[in-house]
Structure 1
């Protein structure tokens, strides 16, 4: 290993003199200053001049020049250190920059790889989505076609059902109308039959005036009640009013005398009866007995149908004139009706 030369040894080693007219720029010594070179290291020409014969120039250096050389040497050392630090800093900055560039390149490559992967994934997803869409579209088209056919059939079926319903409704209406007409005809026929039956079986009373006579100084009217039908009837009451005179006195049954009866009248056995006319003078009675005056008689016979248990009324309003001898009197009926209740 080469030994390091001491500082004193370096100072004793003769140095090449600086040619006249040249400036030692490294140490700031002007040419021909007579100052000895005191650089911190060997120059580049030192090794090449080692074989040359040494020439020693003895120069008398002033004291002030020595002090200035020492200061210049310190400045040179400081500049060398700063230069070395600057170079080291530049290399450090270069290394950091290179490292950051490498990191950036790797990140760019990673980003590029990620972008390629994402692109491949997107292409794969797009392809798969297109396949799924195509498959779903075909499936939807088939479904829509089936639904369309089904809907068309349902519409045809509904149309047929609607037509069948309309035809059934029309037939039912015609049948109902025909049945209604037939039923009305039947009802009418039944009513006619019932009317005929009622007419044939309803009791019909009739009064026949037998005579007008005076007995025991009292004027009497004798009459007979007959039943013209085969249905028995029972007379439950008789309301009568009578008057005598030449002109009709316009009698009112409301002023009559009502008497309760329980007289059965059947076709085979007519029921005779009579009523007196009171409160008249002997001359008035003679006028009636000779036929000059008339007897005006109104009566209301209330009776019950013994088959249907319905009440009916037989109402008469009659003018009676006595004839000569025993002949029946002359009778003029103004009212002679059998009426429902």
Structure 2
């Protein structure tokens, strides 16, 4: 019997179960608090990261970076080992998790895993638009409000090129060279486009004309695109700063377009807002509760089952970022 128990302990003790953790921004309007927070994918084991007035957490390896006022902070997944790093705002982490870019007093700064600033780019970016990284992490994108153009800065050559007018948040496909982006059109609406490469003269419209299509995101395998469509008519009876939106899934292989939900909440000037998990089983987003607050939500892409992760509708939870351990 003892041998049997020891065998079970050996077998099950050697098994490690993957766990998904979600970091996000939580707003408590009653107590006037804004906190970066973390929880499991079922909403349990939730705790705050740091202190009041922290927000926009992002994964950096196994650690978490977030903002407090105009400073960047770091902690681990338990919220411990809290450390103030440097002045800066709106962190964007490279794909290899070895660098991060952020807005700084000089324009944009790049730091490495030791949090040493390795490059300062003297430019005038619009901080309401998030920085994105090229697939090989040699370039970053930024938007200039005076010219209304999106630029690409080459970190190796220290050179700048123009991507185009009124283009926002270019995202490189994880499997090939295609680039996904948002672009404002002549009717002040937003379209979703894909181009084969930066040198490609042709662009493919993913969204439909006449839609306000925003915040597109690639799936992890690069075959699908999720994006939001802001409703033309909003529920004026509900007090919320979010816009009621659809979430649409577009398959780039088959051309199929599928409506996933009509109850998502879009927040202006926030990116990203749609996140696939590593195996494309779930899409995470923010939905709007009956209180007008945000709730962390995910949809199972095969079955269409929607699961509300947040467990307190009076707390405004938004902008999920996920990581499997």
Q: Which has the larger radius of gyration?
A: 1
Q: TM-score, normalised by structure 2?
A: 0.21
Higher percent of residues as helix: 1
Which structure would you say has the larger RCO, counting Cα contacts within 8 Å and 6 or more residues apart?
Answer: 2
The TM-score, its normalising length taken from structure 1, stands at 0.20
